[in-house]
Amino acid sequence: MADIVFCRACGWLNRGHTFIYLLCEGMEAVGVVIAVGPGLTDLQVGDIVAYALRTMGSYAEEHILPADRAVPVPSSIDPSINQLRSKQTIEQIFNSRMGQGSLACLKDRGHMVIFGQAPDPVPISALAVKSLYLTRPSLFQYTAKREELLETAEEAFANIANGVLRVRVNHKYPPSQAAQAHFDLESRKTTSSILLIPDGVES
């Protein structure tokens, strides 16, 4: 979804009657390291890493990125998985949209965490009924430092391995069908995660 938002907001410039596409899409990916810069010791050629960046480019066949943004993927994690979603509880709800129904599921002083792009408007008075907490976090403020990024990734990978987080990938496309993947997502024809899997990569 973030790729679609950036495509709409940043990807096009109107020059007269001509629209020129400026960016290679994609903010996050999992891949194999094919080269490292001089003096780098944390990563080696052949390592499987994941990343999420503010800048675009993950739809490309190869992508140069800062080493401190690459997170090693443990062997216990399926390397084709790169999107996580937390399950819901009574004390905390992680949701892409916010509505009265979600708030009703929370106990007193519960936490509503919104991660979507278009949350439904809810009046402040709805939070006051049960002294609820509402937040709309962004990944990059929680992983600005290298140690924060690694700590967050290690906790997520551990929760997947332990079964606390369940990752569902219901749709896979080759990169040549990225436009179709965007269309299907915007048309609400998909559920859970969507992955672009390069040709020749086992999924």
Do 78 and 9 belong together in one domain? yes
Q: Would you state the structure tokens that stand for residue 35, as one six-digit string?
A: 């080269």
Do 10 and 38 belong together in one domain? yes
pLDDT at 74: 86
Do 99 and 77 belong together in one domain? no
Tokens 């979507």 identify what position? 116
Tokens 């929370």 identify what position? 106
Walk along the chain (203 residues) and give the pLDDT tens digit of each residue. Answer: 566 665 665 544 444 444 444 456 777 888 889 999 888 888 888 888 988 887 777 777 888 888 898 998 888 776 554 333 334 347 888 777 666 667 777 888 988 888 776 556 678 888 888 899 988 888 889 999 999 999 999 999 999 999 988 888 889 999 889 889 888 988 888 888 888 888 777 65
Do 146 and 71 belong together in one domain? yes
pLDDT at 136: 86
Q: What is the pTM of this model?
A: 0.57
First-to-last alpha carbon distance for the chain, in angstroms, is 21
CB atoms within 10 A of CB 157: 19
Q: HEC profile for 145-197?
A: CHHHHHHHHHHHHHHHHCCCCCCCEEEEECHHHHHHHHHHHHCCCCCCEEEEC
Segments forming the whole domain that contains residue 66: 2-83+138-196
Distance CA 36, CA 161 (A): 28
Q: Domain count for the chain, please give it.
A: 2
